Copies of this chain bind each other. A is one copy, B any other.
Amino acid sequence: MTVRVGILGATGAVGQRLIQLLDPHPDFEIAALTASEASAGSSYREAAKWRIDAPIPEDVADITVGATEPDAVPDDVSLIFSSLPSGVGAEVEPDFCEAGYVVSSNSSNGRMDEDVPLIIPEVNADHVGLLEVQRDERGWDGALLKNPNCSTITMVPPLAALDRAFDLTDVRVSTLQAVSGAGYSGVTSMEIIDNAIPHIGGEEQKMETESRKLLGDFDGAEVRLNDADVAASCNRIPTLDGHLENVWADTAEDVTAAEAADAMADVSGVDLPSSPERLIRVFEEPDRPQPRLDRNVDGGMGVAVGGFRETTDGVQFNCLAHNTMRGAAGASVLNGELLAQRGYL
């Protein structure tokens, strides 16, 4: 049975990727698109400055864009994907949940709220149970579920594999992030050509907190944060797509480079349409993964790792994921699939 879905913030960079993923989706059908007031009333073709290197799906192009409010979305829509600026998200997402919509959100607002599940299905699908707590507390018919920040998503699958087998204690991570992570107008060309920017406002904190929630334990009532010490340093570089990260992971148990790689290679996907067969692709060449060559691994939904070396207290390695696919739009779609599978719609 096809689920009719809506997209909040459909004209932005992640919104466009959501359309690219949802248009051919086997279970979902795009029934509503919203954007800012300025765009409401226009066709999507007019409203969106389409920047993906494949044409706008014809049937989507003609949809009339609505305002970002529950009234603008048809009642038969049961699942909402949200990719809004966090300020807007904080304001309107609760309205949708109150109005009975189930929202799979990529917006950064509320990710660390105690009753909001933050989920990567292959890592911590069981946290979805937190929605019961949420509905109890907030009195919603709908529900709000979040995927993490794109740079957090890239490192957590490999870290989860290590934590399970060798018990993580300390993580140091340095990121080389693509410009698309900031949205279409987020980074000007004059800022980044022949340059790199060693700070992304708020991003370091997101990586340090969201990762501990994702790696935490849910006991039926609350999520206890993982007690690993995580420190991040985030850099913007002149690449279009694909976040590359250098990670040092210290562990309580001894681990060799080969054991670390094997633990990651062993992680399978989950039984959802957008989950790849194997979650993590291990490269043996020391200079891989690379953003341009490897960001599309498994249709942009895989995580690529390589460059394993033993350190005094654990291992260091590199990881890469497509920041607007696995790191944003694809993450939301996957969470939408989880919500459908678990009967929340």
Complex interface: chain B residues within 8 A of A287 (CB):
197-199
- Chain B residue nearest to A193 in the complex (CB): B240
Which residues of B have CB within 8 Å of A130? none
- A38 beta carbon closer than 8 Å to chain B: no
A290–B174 contact, CB under 8 A? no
**CB pair B248 A318 closer than 8 Å:** no
Q: How far is the CA of A188 from the CA of B185 in the complex (A)?
A: 6
Q: How far is B292's CA from A248's CA once the two chains are assembled, in angstroms? A: 28
Contact with B along A205-244 (1 / 0, CB 8 A): 0000000000000000000000001010101011110001
Counting chain A residues whose Cβ lies within 8 A of the other chain, the interface size class is: 35 or more
Number of copies: 4
A246 at the B interface (CB under 8 A) = yes
Instruction: Determine whether the beta carbon of A318 is less than 8 Å from that of B188.
Output: no
A264 proximity list for chain B (CB < 8 A): none
Restricting to A284-343, which residues have a CB under 8 Å from any CB of B? Answer: 286-296, 306-307, 309, 311-312, 316, 318
Q: Is the CB of B196 within 8 A of A244?
A: yes
Could you pull out 18 A-B pairs where Cβ atoms are within 8 angstroms? A53-B295, A53-B296, A174-B233, A176-B176, A176-B237, A187-B188, A187-B189, A189-B191, A190-B240, A196-B244, A196-B290, A198-B288, A198-B290, A199-B307, A201-B286, A233-B307, A235-B244, A237-B238
Which residues of A are interface residues toward B (Cβ below 8 A)? 13, 51, 53-54, 170, 172, 174, 176, 179-180, 184-199, 201, 204, 229, 231, 233, 235, 237-240, 244, 246, 248, 286-296, 306-307, 309, 311-312, 316, 318
